Amino acid sequence: MNDVTIDAESRTSQVTAAMKGFAHEIGALSAFRLESCIHCGMCADACHYYIATEDPQYTPIWKVEPFKQAYKREASAFAPVFRWFGFKPAVTAEQLAQWQHLLFDSCNLCGRCSLICPIGIDVAALIEQARHAMFDAGLAPEELYRKAEHQQRTGQPEASLEPYREQLRGIGEQFGIPLPIDANEVEVMLCVPRTDIEHYPAAVAALGLVMQHLGVSHTFRSDALVAENYGYYAGGKEWQRAISLRLIEQAIACHAKVLLIPECGHAYTALRWEAADLYGKELPFKVMAVTEYLALALAEGRLRLGKADIGSVSFQDPCQLDRKGGVTEAPRTLMKAMGLDLREMENNRSFSFCCGGGGGVVDIERAAPLRYRTMEIKLREIDATDGGTFLTGCSDCRHSFDDAKRHFDWDKTPQSLLELVAKSLAPPRAAL
């Protein structure tokens, strides 16, 4: 929780201001969403937290209940009636503090509930807005708050012994692959998931290798290396904006036509769908996920792939790329081109379950026991496919599954689709 030292009186006025702000800023669309729920409960059956626990508190629409209360009291058509007769009491700091668990620890912002709602309520969008109010009330989880604050100030979510720029240079030298930094007049600007810098350097090298294969001018920018946006996770809208602006300004500075999002689902959402809104005007470049960029290059004959020769695979559809981004067939096109025998999970494409780590949940330490419980649904589905190799298109998913491997002593090791593409380039360019 941020601002832990704040006194009770200040906390109450902070909460009151945050809830009033939420009620007045949600806009007509969200107000309509809050008003139109018919309490059918179908979103509960879509959410892996409810499915795993059968605990009603994990019903997605219940997660925004205090915000519905605040909206009705402050901004709905009958707000004065709700206030005068006390039908909707003011949301208290204690009530909101209890909701921290529901809005952060037990929601991946995966959007499966939104997909299922029969009257089209985007519950995940409401939860995202509720996170903004939680942040304003000083109730973002400490881990997310700390990383968001550090990232908006320095560009990195955490200090590292060696700055990411130097680590990137080291990865280039280790793999013998050029990873240009701070070039100008390029076609494509690249960034990296911090997860790759810290855990999967071969995935960073793979990105450089495929760009080299495509012969497209490209660069990383040392002021905007990190793809993830911890402001988005924490609910800090101004910090989310500042972090997005770093990338936007650097893409403009090097005149990139494409800002390429690596294997990182939430980075794609933050930049593809939310950055222009926060920037205030249309972005002067395209934002593309690496899989959709590569599928396009394949269709144009610029990407040449040989057979991967690893037999059957299963594939984790990252929620933010598939369900929220529509990047569904691109990874399948790449897998087909490499001759892979894809064994689909029972819930695949837009209906795929989250890896359990999305929305910053993997960073919240106290959330781990519940996260493991929900992940069992996913692990069972993966095992049921009989796919020999398990592939992901998101570094955060990969990190979550690696963590599950350790926790459950699971016999699968998640692999990166991008790394597999780099290994299958024809003719082979280098070993990863």
Chain positions contacting ligand SF4, by CB under 6 A:
37-43, 46-47, 49, 60-61, 63, 107-113, 117, 119, 121, 123-124, 127
* Least gap, CB of 206 to ligand SF4 (angstroms): 29
Least spacing, CB of residue 128 vs ligand SF4, in Å? 9
Give the DSSP H/E element, type plus range, for residue 210. helix 201-214
Task: State which amino acid sits at residue 136.
Answer: D
CB of 342 to ligand SF4, least distance (A): 24
DSSP label of 351: G
- Nearer to ligand SF4 by Cβ, of 127 and 225: the residue is 127
Instruction: Report the alpha-carbon distance of residue 369 to residue 51 in Å, rounded.
Output: 15
Q: How far is the CB of 267 from ligand SF4 (least distance, A)?
A: 17
CA proximity to 401, closest of 381, 378, 384: 378
Taking the least distance from each CB to ligand SF4, the nearer of 46 and 340 is 46
State which residue, 17 or 38, has the beta carbon closest to ligand SF4: 38
Alpha helix (H) residue ranges in 269-412? 275-279, 290-299, 329-337, 368-385, 395-408
Residue with Cβ nearer ligand SF4 (219 or 352) = 352
Nearer to ligand SF4, 6 or 42 (CB): 42
SS3 220: strand
In the block, residue with structure tokens 């959402």: 269
Query: How many degrees, rounded to 5, is the angle at CA 241 between CA 235 and CA 246?
Result: 130
CB of 426 to ligand SF4, least distance (A): 39
State CA 332 to chain mean position distance. Answer: 20
Shortest approach of ligand SF4 to residue 52 CB, angstroms? 10
CA-CA distances (angstroms) from residue 189 to 113, 137, 311, 414? Answer: 34, 36, 34, 27
Decide whether 236 or 359 has the Cβ nearer to ligand SF4.
359
Quote the least distance from Cβ 220 to ligand SF4, whole Å. 32
Least distance (Å) between residue 54 CB and ligand SF4: 14
Place of tokens 């070039």: 183
143: helix, coil or strand?
helix
Cβ–Cβ < 8 Å for 209, 419: no
Which residue has 């769908």 as its token pair? 273
Residue 131 CB, shortest distance to ligand SF4, in Å, is 11
CB closer to ligand SF4 out of 59 and 212? 59
Q: Which one, 107 or 421, has the nearer CB to ligand SF4?
A: 107
- In this structure, the dihedral spanned by the alpha carbons of residues 357, 358, 361 and 367, taken in order and rounded to 10 degrees, is -40
User: Can you tell me the distance from the alpha carbon of 112 to that of 178, in angstroms, rounded to the nearest whole number?
Assistant: 39
Nearer to ligand SF4, 109 or 179 (CB): 109
Rounded to 5 degrees, φ, ψ at 379 are -60, -35
Specify the 3-state DSSP secondary structure of 39.
coil
